[in-house]
Structure 1
Amino acid sequence: MESFKVPTREEVSADNQAIFDNLKSQVGFVPNLYATYTHSENGLADYLTLANRKTTLSGKEKEVINLVVSEVNDCTYCKAAHTAIGKMNGFTEEQILEIRSGEASFDPKLDALAKYVKSAVINRSKPEQSTIEALFDAGYTKENLVDTIILVGDKTISNLLYGSTSIPVDFPTAQELETAAV
């Protein structure tokens, strides 16, 4: 496989340099995965537009989706990044591990979301009907379902980029699940 170097600020266009500067001011650094998007001139801007779109989902709900998708797809980078972001959103390490397994027994609504997302990703876009029904029974709407699907797609894009490049992970390593849940 061709080696992918993570582009530095000096190696990207002026437009991408501005995005790097904005990320550095907001996040404190430019995550390697984001920098890797700049191998395409418009890749990072396009991805950030998708990732930062308005949604009906809360920060915690978004992290449930990100964690489940990243676990099912075994994305080391995204598991590490979203473990850190999940903690910033108030989840404990134990809750994050449970979410990554596709459950959230500590919150019935998040549990339905985690189970739906796991089913959708494992079954390659054909979730079990029971998980869709459970999602609606838990109080989610059709709009929430569409926003969930968009976020599954968003996270899958990043999982694919990491899986194709194996760039260095610049977040603390996520603990592995003790048993293979997926």
Structure 2
Amino acid sequence: MTTFNVPTRAEVSENNQAIFDNLNKALGFVPNLYATYANSDTALENYLNFANAKTSLSAKQKEAVNLAVSEVNACLYCLSAHTAIGKMNGFTDPQILELRAGFSTVNTKLDALAKLAKNITENRGKTDASVLENFFNAGFTKGNLIDTIALVGDKTISNYVHSTTQVPVDFPVAQPLELETV
């Protein structure tokens, strides 16, 4: 099997070196998954532009989607990264585990969003009508739906990059999910 090493700054294009420098300034390091995108001269910049694009979803809502999608896609790297980011956005460990399982017992709007993200991912976009109706009944709009679908795609790309490359996880490793799902 092909082994994927995490490229260093010296091993990537000048454009990616500048992105590495910006990531180091912003985060204090270049996450291994982002560095892996830099194997391509264009993918890292394209992905970061997509991931950081404007959205109607709040930071907490984005993390709810990221956690649910990464759980369905069994991506330990993204689960670990988004567990850390979820905590930075105010989620507790039990809330993060619920969102990973695709629900929330503390917030009906996040519950509808997590259920939708899980359902879209599991069904490859063939969303169950009842899940979609629940999403709209929770107060979300058609614009929120499109932004959620875009975010599911965004996160799925990273899930697939890690699942294929298996680069080392450089965040505290997420605990296994052992929740009963609702």
TM-score, normalization: structure 1? 0.98
Q: CA deviation at 1:29?
A: 0.5
Query: Hey, what does 2:130 align to over in structure 1?
Result: 130
Q: CA deviation at 1:123?
A: 1.1
Query: Hey, what does 1:98 align to over in structure 2?
Result: 98
CA distance in 1, matches of 2:77, 2:126: 26
Q: CA deviation at 1:179?
A: 4.7
Percent of paired sites with the same residue:
61
Indicate the larger mover: 119-128 or 40-49.
119-128
Contact 2:98–2:179 (8 Å) recurs in 1? no
CA distance in 2, matches of 1:180, 1:77: 22
Query: Hey, what does 1:12 align to over in structure 2?
Result: 12
Q: CA deviation at 1:127?
A: 1.2
Contact 2:97–2:179 (8 Å) recurs in 1? no
Q: CA deviation at 1:181?
A: 4.9
Q: CA deviation at 1:54?
A: 0.3
User: Following TM superposition, where does structure 1 have runs of at least 4 consecutive aligned residues deviating by more than 6 angstroms?
Assistant: none
Q: CA deviation at 1:178?
A: 1.4
Contact 2:65–2:151 (8 Å) recurs in 1? yes
Question: Which structure 2 residue ranges, 5 or more long, are not aligned?
Answer: none
Counterpart amino acid of residue 5 in structure 2? K
CA distance in 2, matches of 1:178, 1:100: 10
Query: Hey, what does 1:58 align to over in structure 2?
Result: 58
Root-mean-square deviation (CA), in Å?
1.2
Q: CA deviation at 1:77?
A: 0.2
Query: Hey, what does 1:159 align to over in structure 2?
Result: 159
Q: CA deviation at 1:180?
A: 7.4
Question: Which structure 1 residue ranges, 5 or more long, are not aligned?
Answer: none
Contact 2:67–2:82 (8 Å) recurs in 1? yes
